[in-house]
Amino acid sequence: MDLERSVRDVLDREAVTALVHDYCLLFDENRPRDVAELFTVDAVVDYGPESDTIVGRDAIGATIAVGLARTFAATSHHVSNVQVVLEGDGRARSTCYLYAWHRYVDGSPDGELWGRYRHRFVRTDDAGWRIAELRLEAAGTVDFHRARMHPVGRRPASA
């Protein structure tokens, strides 16, 4: 066993997982500018087929700010089942599960989503690990503010 390499890998997995947790916490605290700081300058976010893919840290912050101001009275993003793959050379990917609860400004019934985040991460020279890509996929939703979502990739039942 290469002890130092193994420990570095454990710390890297902890670091990118912490970014996912920071994203949830800052989003749920309605701090869109701080959420944006977790991303690389040229990061790409894809929340689903009903909304345009967001490109760039500034656009990410601005888009999230609109949703937080107009749509949500409260949100809670519970992530689990975090699986990180270190790809070497300062790159990593992860898949995690998301159970998200939303209370709406307009008084609609609380919306729930069961799904996944797919993340890609890059270690930057100046700020360490940052999120380079985020894609949201849904296994299912109830009373959710979006009708169509990227699917989680479940095989058809007949397969």
Q: Are 120 and 20 in contact (CB under 8 A)?
A: no
Is 76 an interacting residue with respect to its own copies (CB under 8 A)?
A: yes
Which residue of 36, 47, 60, 115 would you call a contact of its own copies, by CB under 8 A?
Answer: 115
- Rounded CA-CA distance 98/78 in Å is 6
Is 150 an interacting residue with respect to its own copies (CB under 8 A)?
A: no
Q: Which is nearer to its own copies, 22 or 46 (CB)?
A: 22
Is 159 an interacting residue with respect to its own copies (CB under 8 A)?
A: yes
Q: Are 16 and 124 in contact (CB under 8 A)?
A: no
In this chain, which stretch among 23-31, 41-49, 54-62, 124-132 interacts with its own copies, using CB under 8 A?
23-31
- Rounded CA-CA distance 59/93 in Å is 22
In the complex, least distance from residue 86 CB atom to its own copies, rounded to whole angstroms = 12
- Rounded CA-CA distance 151/133 in Å is 17
Q: Which is nearer to its own copies, 80 or 125 (CB)?
A: 80
In the complex, least distance from residue 53 CB atom to its own copies, rounded to whole angstroms = 24
- C-alpha distances in angstroms, 118 versus 46, 72, 87, 88, 135? 10, 23, 15, 18, 5
- Sequence-distant (6+) residues with CB within 8 A of 93 are 84, 85, 87, 118, 119, 120, 121
Is 124 an interacting residue with respect to its own copies (CB under 8 A)?
A: no
Which stretches of the chain bind its own copies, using CB under 8 A? Answer: 1, 3-4, 6-8, 10-11, 13-14, 18, 21-22, 24-25, 28-31, 68-69, 73-83, 95, 97, 99, 101, 103, 105, 110, 114-115, 139-140, 142, 152-159
